Amino acid sequence: MVARRSLRPPQTALVLGGGSDIAAACVAALAGHGLRTAVLAARDPDAARARMAAATDRVDLVPIRWDVLDTGALDDLWSTTTQAVGTPDVVLCAVGSLGHHAGLGMSPTDVEAMARTNYAAPAAALAYVAERLAADPGDGRAMVVLSSVAGVRPRRSNFVYGSSKAGLDSFARGLGDALHGSGVRMLVVRPGFVRSRMTTGLDPAPFATDPEVVAGAVARAVAGGRDGVLSVPPLLGPLFAVLANLPRGLWRRIAGDR
């Protein structure tokens, strides 16, 4: 991860997937660094507002009904966002779908839905937003994409989810390179297992953590003007660099059915 010059603290945010538990914790953590207003783009804006309000009362919330699969709605999303906060200082993409099974046995329809929800549609939204941030970079803006260590190496139990996160991760890193010099920086966040609504009912993986821990790392990185890849907890970065290169048989044994 690369440190940049210090920047004006972010005051406004657009959250894609505004109902996410990790996003709620990120907004609360960013409030401690000066965030004042967050636009929450969510399938269920009332639920998103309630979840976010439970996490922090220090940020004005602007909930908008939005579905990532509706790429035709991006103009409306942007227009409502800029009317509310101008060009946002931070755009956080927290859209994701895991379910309790993301591997063999999924129907073609479900595979396509997962690939679209976790990769194709967020990628379209990020490309759209990036152009507009780059056209108005202000004192420096940040895009934050919640990727996952699941994208570093596919596992038999969740390769559909993992591969779609790998696609989004690669897309975001490439987009970050394309934005280099524009005043817009890209932070790609790779959490391990996080105890959130997404993982309710699942056995925690080793190094499981909480949304607040991910959020603290994200807020410090954003406020510190950092970009690049951020693994949470940090140990997962070097660990997965090793795991990604293990022989397949050994990896299958280590990953097991999880």
Ligand X SMILES: NC(=O)c1ccc[n+]([C@@H]2O[C@H](COP(=O)([O-])OP(=O)(O)OC[C@H]3O[C@@H](n4cnc5c(N)ncnc54)[C@H](OP(=O)(O)O)[C@@H]3O)[C@@H](O)[C@H]2O)c1
Contacting range for ligand X; rule: CB under 6 A; set: 17-25, 56-64, 124-132, 241-249? 17-25
- Which range of residues in 53-61, 84-92, 188-196, 220-228 is near ligand X by CB under 6 A? 188-196
89 binds ligand X (CB under 6 A): no
Chain positions 98 to 117 lying near ligand X, rule: CB under 6 A, are 117
Nearer Cβ to ligand X (12/196): 196
Residue 63 · residue 51 · CB < 8 Å? no
69 lies in the site for ligand X, by CB under 6 A: yes
Which residues from 202-241 bind ligand X, rule CB under 6 A?
none
Q: Does residue 148 bind ligand X (CB under 6 A)?
A: yes
Using CA atoms, how far apart are residues 87 and 110, in angstroms rounded to an integer?
Answer: 35
Selected range binding ligand X among 28-36, 82-90, 101-109, 194-202, rule: CB under 6 A? 194-202
Find tokens 């937003």 and name the residue.
129
Q: Out of 13, 35, 68, 230, name the contact with ligand X by CB under 6 A.
A: 68
From the list 37, 56, 196, 231, which residue makes contact with ligand X (rule: CB under 6 A)?
Answer: 196
Residue of the chain from 10, 88, 154, 191 that contacts ligand X (CB under 6 A): 191
* 197 near ligand X (CB under 6 A): yes
Q: Please give the Cα distance from 242 to 35 (Å, whole number).
A: 37
What's the min distance (Å) between Cβ of 138 and ligand X?
26
Q: Say whether residue 71 binds ligand X (CB under 6 A).
A: no
Our CB check for ligand X shows the closer of 184 and 214 to be: 214
Catalytic residues: 161
Q: Pick one of 26, 94, 221, 236: the residue that binds ligand X (CB under 6 A).
A: 94
The count of residues interacting with ligand X (CB under 6 A) is: 25
Burial of 258 (0-12, 13-18, 19+ CB in 10 A): middle
Q: Which residues bind ligand X (CB under 6 A)?
A: 17, 19-22, 42-44, 67-69, 94-97, 117, 146, 148, 191, 193-194, 196-199
